[in-house]
Amino acid sequence: MPSYDVIVIGAGAAGLMCALTAGYRGQRVRVIDHANKAGKKILMSGGGRCNFTNLATAPRHFFSGNPHFAISALKRYTPQHFVELVERHGIEYVEKAPGQLFCADSAKAIVEMLLTECAWAGVEVSLSTTVERVERLGEGVRLKSSAGTFDAGAVVIASGGLSIPTLGASGFGYDLARQFGLEVTATRAALVPFTVTSQWKTALAALSGLSCPVAVSCGDGHYREPLLFTHRGLSGPAMLQASSHWEPGMALTIDWLPQLDVAEALRQGRRESPRKRLAGWLGEQLPRRLAQALGEWQGWPDTSLADLSNAQIDAIAEALARWQFKPAGTEGWRTAEVTLGGVDTRAISSKTFAVEGLPQLRFIGEVLDVTGQLGGFNFQWAWASGVACGQAV
Ligand code: FDA
């Protein structure tokens, strides 16, 4: 029976990073994935250009029931380390938004880089291979798969979260965690667009494709990012970020003009251009279609600025700064970028990613209850947890 020092389940971001790190240490490593291609999510990410890290990565950009867990790995493998790897492979990148690094060309370069490193490190990668069973075997594990039975010193679970089942996502890691007596915290689709009621769908149809910078608040989350109207509902970075704080029934508070003191600007407009129409003034501050729609939804009078009372100005400013909206739901696992929740980290070492009392079993990446905000943080977690585990396993 073939035997390995380490078997990694999941040829995604965390799994490949862990495998190559362990391989370079001289460990005999095999990666198993049921998908027919490695790194499918990497290929899809960042609109095909993979936002592979964020230079501002810090623990505050992550959600977890155990907020200190991520600190150690993130500190030991920083965005700069990954940038050095990318540069060594001659991959060009761009900083599309502050701190957010994307491939200049294609996400394919990142997958090729990881597979090249795996090959250099002597790692074997088996795709289209189903894992049927993982069981404890003395100090190690025995793994039954569609490619045969393997013994290993350790198995690393890097099977990711539940988002986008068509890309190979499965609840495998959670089931395995439960099999070995670990807790799994409640999971929820996050970084996902919002859906709206059919009534709002009709109202928003005319705005489809329009994007504008807003400030959004949801629960304890506050973000200043663009919002995008789609034919299905509300999307764009602002909405994806807010979705990580949203639970059914909650309202979003949207500030349509976060950069402007609207009450002061309207009073100034009333003084300097008294004959200007309110709709015209709004159309200068916001995309015209949006200004018109907001005017209709709020029932604002089509009047000249001179005719607006101070009370009306204050009411308009308040409505623009605190527009309340209750989404019908989210698009769910079909389009979510990540899974909130996962394998409870309290029974896992933040240094080695080994399960307490069961060092032959390790969990890394998104399968754990560690989820990043939008902007390259999730990949940085995958790289950092993969390296930390690969150095220790
Ligand atoms: P990942 O999901 O990458 O890999 C898990 C692997 O395990 C997969 O290859 C899967 O096939 C395999 N697997 C699952 N079940 C299995 C089983 N039963 N048997 C064998 N194999 C199994 N993040 C970011 O930082 N920047 C970005 O630009 C984006 N963009 C983005 C876009 C889209 C569309 C999505 C869906 C996600 C993102 N993300 C992102 C999030 C990022 O892709 C995600 O957090 C990481 O890929 C997680 O890495 P993991 O290795 O943990 O799981």
| 64-68 mean pLDDT | 97
Binning pLDDT at 50, 70 and 90, where does residue 318 land? very high
Ligand 1 within 6 A of CB of 147 = no
Q: What is the distance in A from the centroid of ligand 1 to the CA of 41?
A: 5
Q: What is the distance in A from the centroid of ligand 1 to the CA of 338?
A: 8
Count of structural domains, the chain: 2
Structure token pair of residue 368: 């754990």
Residue in the structure block whose two tokens are 């008294």: 274
Atom 13, ligand 1: residue with shortest CA distance: 159
Residues 88, 117, single domain; the answer is yes
Above 70 in pLDDT, residue 268? Answer: yes
* pLDDT score recorded for residue 2: 72
Pocket perturbation via mutation, ligand 1, pick of 31, 34, 45 by most ligand atoms within 8 A of CB: 45
Work out which ligand 1 atom sits closest to the CA atom of 10: 7
Residues 337, 318, single domain; the answer is no
What's the pLDDT tens digit per position in 151-204?
999 999 999 999 998 888 989 999 999 999 999 999 999 999 999 999 999 989
Q: What is the enclosing helix (H) or strand (E) of 382?
A: helix 377-392
Q: What is the distance in A from the centroid of ligand 1 to the CA of 110?
A: 13
Strand partners, 319: none
Ligand 1 within 6 A of CB of 125 = no
Atom 6, ligand 1: residue with shortest CA distance: 10
- On whether the CB atoms of residues 170 and 158 are closer than 8 A, the answer is no
For the chain, the maximum distance between any two Cα atoms, rounded to a whole number of angstroms, is: 86
Residues 168, 96, single domain; the answer is yes
Residues 82, 209, single domain; the answer is no
Q: What percent of the chain has pLDDT over 70?
A: 100
Above 70 in pLDDT, residue 330? Answer: yes
Pocket perturbation via mutation, ligand 1, pick of 159, 240, 389 by most ligand atoms within 8 A of CB: 159
Residues 304, 365, single domain; the answer is no
Residues 201, 78, single domain; the answer is no
Residues 227, 289, single domain; the answer is yes
Ligand 1 within 6 A of CB of 338 = yes
Residue among 164, 167, 161 nearest 186 (CA): 161
Residues 68, 119, single domain; the answer is yes
Residues 182, 210, single domain; the answer is no
The last residue of one of the domains, among 277, 297, 330, is 330
Ligand 1 within 6 A of CB of 158 = yes
What's the pLDDT tens digit per position in 186-199?
999 999 999 999 99
Residue among 97, 308, 336 nearest 223 (CA): 97
Q: What is the distance in A from the centroid of ligand 1 to the CA of 304?
A: 54
| 282-290 mean pLDDT | 96
* pLDDT score recorded for residue 1: 67
Above 80 in pLDDT, residue 6? Answer: yes
What's the domain range around 52? 3-188+332-392
The last residue of one of the domains, among 330, 352, 382, is 330
3 state SS for 304-354: EHHHCCHHHHHHHHHHHHCEEECCCEECHHHCCCEEECCECHHHECCCCCE
Cβ neighbors of 344 (< 8 A, separation 6 or more) are: 65, 66, 177, 182, 183, 184, 185, 369
Strand partners, 226: 213
The CATH number of the domain holding residue 100 is 3.50.50.60
Ligand 1 within 6 A of CB of 225 = no
Q: What is the distance in A from the centroid of ligand 1 to the CA of 160?
A: 5
The last residue of one of the domains, among 315, 330, 345, is 330
Least confident of 163-177, 256-270, 378-392: 163-177
Ligand 1 within 6 A of CB of 61 = no
Q: What is the distance in A from the centroid of ligand 1 to the CA of 158?
A: 9
The CATH number of the domain holding residue 238 is 2.40.30.10
Residues 44, 120, single domain; the answer is yes
SS3 27: coil
**Mean predicted lDDT score pLDDT of the chain:** 96
Residues 31, 174, single domain; the answer is yes
Could you tell me the pTM of the whole model? 0.96
Above 90 in pLDDT, residue 302? Answer: no
Above 70 in pLDDT, residue 261? Answer: yes
Work out which ligand 1 atom sits closest to the CA atom of 54: 25
Pocket perturbation via mutation, ligand 1, pick of 53, 378, 383 by most ligand atoms within 8 A of CB: 378
The per-residue DSSP string of 53-89 comes to EETT--GGGEE-SSTTTTHHHHHHS-HHHHHHHHHHT
Residues 34, 152, single domain; the answer is yes
